[in-house]
Amino acid sequence: MTSVDHDPTATIPGPPLPVLNGPWSARVARAEGADLDVVHGWMQSPHIDAFWHQAWPRERWYEEIAGHLAGDAILPVLVDLDGEPFAYIEVYRVIRDRLAGQYAELPHDLGVHIAIGDAARTGQGLGRRLLRALAEGLLAADPECVRVVAEPDVTNAPSLRAFEAAGFRPCGEVVFPDKTAALLVHPRSEEDLPK
């Protein structure tokens, strides 16, 4: 037997692309060209950098996205609203993330990081609509997943309100070296909330 035989996470697939319906659409972000330009540009925006802290050079974003695409922990996704770029999403498997071990995760739990590109499109209820669609779309994409989680910074009040309005439930806090996060969970059913 190899060590992989003892690793219960080895058989868990990478994160799926969420199943979205109009007016939303999602696709895997590419590490070059227009996709890279969009993500890099958005990450320079003060409203995103305030919480992501990733206003990196274009080359570093190329490496970040290419690294995600080469692995099975994080899927970089671009979401369009009515055919126009709207948000950058990272869908991740909790068991392969720093969130693993911070709550009673299940092997198929999925997490999301979200950055709405244009600050002018925030505060209009679009974020909560997208978050609900993402949670439902990820549960549809992976029938074995019973909950979608998020861990926004506890000081990011607009994000917290949007997640809660989208059906994510507060389940405590998690302390990371760079932030204290609110653990928010969108369960498939009430019985699927972490105990």
The answer to pTM > 0.85 is yes
Q: What is the pLDDT of residue 166?
A: 97
Report pLDDT for 2.
45
- For 48-77, write each residue's pLDDT tens digit: 999 999 999 999 999 999 999 999 999 999
Two structure tokens written together for 29:
């972000």
In sequence order, which residues have a C-beta less than 8 Å from that of residue 67 and are 6 or more positions away?
none
The predicted structure's pLDDT at residue 148:
98
Helix (H/G/I), strand (E/B), else coil: 4: helix
- Please tell me the predicted confidence (pLDDT) of residue 4: 46
Low-confidence ranges of the chain (pLDDT < 70): 1-8
Residue 10: the pLDDT is 80
What is the per-residue pLDDT for 43? 98
Query: What is the rounded end-to-end Cα distance, in angstroms, of the chain?
Result: 34
Rounded Cα distance, 116 and 92, in Å: 18
- pLDDT on residue 9: 74
With CA atoms as reference, report the closest residue to 94 among 191, 155, 181: 181
Q: Which pLDDT score, from 0 to 100, does residue 158 have?
A: 93
Could you please report the per-residue DSSP string of 43-99? HTSHHHHHHH-----HHHHHHHHHHHHHSSSEEEEEEEETTEEEEEEEEEEGGGSTT
90 vs 19: CA distance, rounded Å: 14
